[in-house]
């Protein structure tokens, strides 16, 4: 069977596809008699299959030409698979410990084959809902973000290298436009796709649409998102894009990857940890009040930023005399000036992180796509109370982000909105 034009893969055609692709058939030892295939795509966009035999395994991910959970009424380019494969390979080169290996990419079929993250790996969001602590999470995620963001920025690269890759990833415009819509536009207007826990959050949702200061700040963030090609960002780095065990952290699904503001990635991750924090009261019961777990989440937020800061600036210091063209050594030529530049850069990055994180939080409460952290709370009034706290914190962070000087101040603010 030839695969010379796109068609969605079902189990039977997937087997034929594997047979026709030597790198994949070799991975399972050409053992088709004991082959097991399971469709596990619980996301919004794609088909995802686990392919396993006694001789080996891998995951197949196929992009569809529409948003899967809505249907063909919302078209979506399948070229996103190309940019996902590019980002996986580039981020995997920079941080191989935390990115699954890509075995095969087929642009015609929009298919990526990659390492199967075997059990006990689970989606981080599900672990947070279950109240599981991951002692290495902050260490691993700070490592991933420091390396992928520093090494793809002008702090390390020449403008020629940087602009070449910026131009390449500009082709992922359709997914960037989707983000513009669902993060920076829809929550602040009446949209057919918006939803919220009604009637409990009716007033809160209207207040978001009526808040002029909030809209001014969101406009500034949208401008930065669209215009600032700072580094190769994952583009959708929430807790559903991370798979974990107690000693492994793997970042997946960078199909929204583009050259954008670093704070968009850091903010997405920290913002989703804050959502998980506020959801805990909805998952508490007589056996477990989740108080200690909430303390662990706050420690993880603090450690993620603190470790990121330490590792990112260490890379900067290590390569300060290299080929990076953001701050040319001949100009920034004394330790005092170099320290001033670095401190301002990191302070601005903290403020960007808080702004983007807050915007991501707001869209998960009053926008189109919500999070399981809240959605799995069956008591609607209890769920709404958790969401309301998160929404209040997010609005404050977005509007007042430039007042915060440290991550400790942010953690204190989170604790005060309860």
Domains and CATH numbers, the chain: 11-114 (3.30.200.20), 122-416 (3.90.1200.10)
Per-residue model confidence (pLDDT) at position 41: 80
Task: Provide DSSP, 328-375.
Answer: -TTTS-SHHHHHHHHHHHHHHHHHHHHHHHHHHHHHHHHSS---HHHH
Q: What percent of the chain has pLDDT over 70?
A: 99
Per-residue model confidence (pLDDT) at position 73: 76
CA distances in angstroms from 121 to 78, 247, 273, 338, 356, listed in the order given? 27, 10, 18, 42, 28
Structure tokens at 200: 């409990």
**Position 258 pLDDT exceeds 90:** yes
CA distances in angstroms from 302 to 146, 238, 270, 299, 364, listed in the order given? 15, 17, 9, 5, 22
Per-residue model confidence (pLDDT) at position 19: 97
> Mean of the pLDDT values across residues 80-98?
98
- Whether 254 contacts 87, CB under 8 Å: yes
Residues in the chain: 418
**Position 25 pLDDT exceeds 80:** yes
**Position 1 pLDDT exceeds 70:** no
Write the burial class of residue 200 (CB in 10 Å: 0-12 exposed, 13-18 middle, 19+ buried): middle
Residues 370-386: pLDDT tens digits?
999 999 999 999 999 99
Per-residue model confidence (pLDDT) at position 127: 98
| Residue 75 pLDDT class (50, 70, 90 cuts) | confident
| Residue 74 pLDDT class (50, 70, 90 cuts) | confident
Of 1-5, 109-113, 175-179, 396-400, the range with the lowest mean pLDDT is 1-5
Question: How far apart, in whole angstroms, are the C-alpha atoms of residue 367 and residue 239?
Answer: 18
| Residue 42 pLDDT class (50, 70, 90 cuts) | low
Write the burial class of residue 366 (CB in 10 Å: 0-12 exposed, 13-18 middle, 19+ buried): buried
- Whether 365 contacts 374, CB under 8 Å: yes
**Position 43 pLDDT exceeds 80:** no
**Position 2 pLDDT exceeds 80:** no
CA 305 to the chain's CA centroid:
15
Per-residue model confidence (pLDDT) at position 44: 63
> Mean of the pLDDT values across residues 387-405?
98
As a whole number, the mean pLDDT across the chain is 97
Of 28-42, 252-266, 347-361, the range with the lowest mean pLDDT is 28-42
CB atoms < 10 A from the CB of 236, how many?
Answer: 20
pTM of the model: 0.97
Q: 242-244 and 249-251: which strand pairing?
A: antiparallel
| Residue 71 pLDDT class (50, 70, 90 cuts) | confident
- Whether 22 contacts 59, CB under 8 Å: no
Task: Provide DSSP, 127-191.
Answer: HHHHT---TTHHHHHHHHHHHHHHTTSTTTS-HHHHHHHHHHHGGGHHHHHHHIIIIIIGGGS--
């Amino acid at each position: 069977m030839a695969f010379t034009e796109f068609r969605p893969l079902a189990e039977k055609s997937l087997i034929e596809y594997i047979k026709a692709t030597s790198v994949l058939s070799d991975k399972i030892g050409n053992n088709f008699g004991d082959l097991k295939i399971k469709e596990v795509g619980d996301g919004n966009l794609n088909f995802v299959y686990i392919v396993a035999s006694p001789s080996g395994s891998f995951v197949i991910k196929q992009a569809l030409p529409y948003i899967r959970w809505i249907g063909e009424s919302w078209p979506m380019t399948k070229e996103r698979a190309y940019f996902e494969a590019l980002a996986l390979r580039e981020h995997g080169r920079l941080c191989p410990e935390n990115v699954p290996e890509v075995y095969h990419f087929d642009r015609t079929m929009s298919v990526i084959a990659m390492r199967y993250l075997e059990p006990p790996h689970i989606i981080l969001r599900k672990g947070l809902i279950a109240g599981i602590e991951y002692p290495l999470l902050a260490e691993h995620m700070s490592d991933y973000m420091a390396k992928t963001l520093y090494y793809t920025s002008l702090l390390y690269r020449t403008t020629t290298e940087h602009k070449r890759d910026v131009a390449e990833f500009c082709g992922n415009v359709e997914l960037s436009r989707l983000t513009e819509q669902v993060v920076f536009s829809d929550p602040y207007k009446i949209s057919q796709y918006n939803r919220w826990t009604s009637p409990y959050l009716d007033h809160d949702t209207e207040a978001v649409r009526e808040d002029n200061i909030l809209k001014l700040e969101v406009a500034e963030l949208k401008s930065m998102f669209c215009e600032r090609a700072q580094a190769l960002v994952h583009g959708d780095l929430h807790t559903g894009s991370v798979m974990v065990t107690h000693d492994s952290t793997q970042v997946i699904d960078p199909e929204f990857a583009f050259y954008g503001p670093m704070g968009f990635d850091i903010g997405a991750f920290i913002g989703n940890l804050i959502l998980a924090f506020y959801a805990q009261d909805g998952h508490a019961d007589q056996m477990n009040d989740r108080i200690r777990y909430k303390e662990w989440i706050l420690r993880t937020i603090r450690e993620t930023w603190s470790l990121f800061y330490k590792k990112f600036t260490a890379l900067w210091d290590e390569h300060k005399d290299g080929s990076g063209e953001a701050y040319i050594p001949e100009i920034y030529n004394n330790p005092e000036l170099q320290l001033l530049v670095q401190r301002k850069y990191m302070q601005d990055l903290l403020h960007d992180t808080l702004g983007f994180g807050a915007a991501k939080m707001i869209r998960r409460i009053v926008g189109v796509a919500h999070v399981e952290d809240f959605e799995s709370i069956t008591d609607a009034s209890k769920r709404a109370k958790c969401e309301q706290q998160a929404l209040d914190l997010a609005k404050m962070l977005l509007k007042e982000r430039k007042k915060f000087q440290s991550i400790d101040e942010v953690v204190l603010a989170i604790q005060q909105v309860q």
